[in-house]
Homo-oligomer: A and B are copies of this chain.
Amino acid sequence: MVAEGPFPPRRATIYRALLMASIMLSTMVAALDTVPDMWGEYYGASRLLLSLTLAVLTFDYLVRLWQAWDSGTEDKPVRSMLAYATSPYGIFDFLAVVPFLVGEALGLPRDGETIFGIIRFLKLARYSPALETLGAVMMAEFRPLMSALFIMVLLIVSTSALLYFVERDVNPSFASVPHAMWWSVVTLATLGYGDVVPATALGKVFGGVVAILGLCMFALPASILASGFTEEMRRQSFVSTWHLVAKVPFFAKLQANQIAEVASLLKVYRAVKGEVLMREGDLGECMYFLVNGQVEVLGRTGTFLLKQGDFFGEIALLEQRPRTATVRAATRCQLLILDAREFHKFVSAYPNLLDAIWEIARSRMAVKDPANPSDET
């Protein structure tokens, strides 16, 4: 990942927020500038806002150029800087500021300001894997997508010809096949602007069939993309879980393939400080492994801390009874969650891990329940 400015973590977060705000404000001003008499007496203020946001973006571009120059990954700073400047991100960063600054000096036409203002928005892509994910999905599902696209074009072409022959004599909106195609697209995409509507009875019958066909066929590409997108997101989250599992000491003895298997059973969860993870008396539906951070256990016999690598919440799963303690995140922390549904797969695959869990669970129960041997609900 590209570093977030020349700042330590805390400040980097602030810097990032500032940068994202600048991008969004700057694009917004560029869009609003196209409204005639938009600003009225606030014109000066809008120019000031635009200048401020552009100053931030210019600073960001310079910082990133300098970072590339300075970065240790290659010995030749010029080549490293050029590598950044010609990468997609570098080009967006460049287009976000330079044309505007040049334009200000030389008198850029207003349309140029609008175009580059919109392009500035693409800088946000740096903070979201969405476009890359979408690209990967489109690559992976290329053939099904092209198939669905072909069906769509075929439907548009044939239904527009059909309606053209039915409607052309009475309905000027269907005066030619390209006119009818506009109706076909608007209908098959279930948009239904209503600017073009069949007028004859036969046209309405065919129109109804086309509407239903559209509903069915145009769902194909949407469904292919949506399932591919979800799948790809899940794959990415599996890989990050996989690397996290390897950091938990409790799983240290597992082999690579077993870690992969465990990773497919666990889910990553990020808790903020103070968040209550489980509450005494609730039904227990999962157990937790603490990857980093600390949680505090508020039991009947007092409060104690759990640290990186510990687990908790296992008693409710082993004994099928309500939670015996409340657990709260003492710091920001990353956890791995093992669902009740996955628990049985886990313990039948790793009986020795189950033994280890039981041992700790028994020692915990021994501490807590001496005066309360049966608290089932």
Contacts and interface: CB of A to CB of B under 8 A. Distances in A.
B229 A211 contact: no
Given A185-B208, A222-B223, 10 more contacts: A27-B157, A30-B177, A35-B177, A128-B146, A128-B150, A144-B229, A144-B230, A189-B212, A242-B340, A260-B343
Interface string A197-221: 1000100100110011011111111
B189 A215 contact: yes
Contacts of A344: 256-258, 260-261, 264
Interface stretch (A5-13, A93-101, A113-121): A113-121
Contacts of A214: 189
Contacts of A238: 340-341
Contacts of A150: 124-125, 128, 130-131
A343 B259 CA distance: 11
Given A133-B147, A151-B130, A243 B195 contact: no
This chain: how many copies in the complex?
Answer: 4
A145 to B, nearest CB: 9
Contacts of A186: 192, 208, 211
A106 interface: no
Given A35-B176, A165-B111, A233-B147, A320 B256 contact: yes
A223 B221 CA distance: 12
A152 interface: yes
Contact of A216 (B30, B125, B221): B221
A interface, by DSSP: helix, strand, loop or mixed? helix
A246 interface: yes
20 contacts: A31-B177, A32-B176, A34-B175, A36-B175, A118-B158, A131-B151, A144-B230, A185-B208, A185-B211, A189-B211, A190-B191, A191-B191, A215-B218, A223-B230, A235-B341, A238-B340, A243-B283, A243-B320, A256-B319, A264-B341
A178 B201 contact: yes
Interface in A271-301: 283, 285
How many chain A residues sit at the interface, stated as a range, is 35 or more
Contacts of A165: 111
Interface string A146-185: 1110111010011011001100000000011111011001
A144 B233 contact: yes
Contact of A35 (B31, B34, B178, B341): B178
A14 B36 CA distance: 51
A206 to B, nearest CB: 11
Contact of A190 (B115, B189, B317, B354): B189
Given A221-B216, A243-B320, A257 B27 contact: no
A347 B223 contact: no
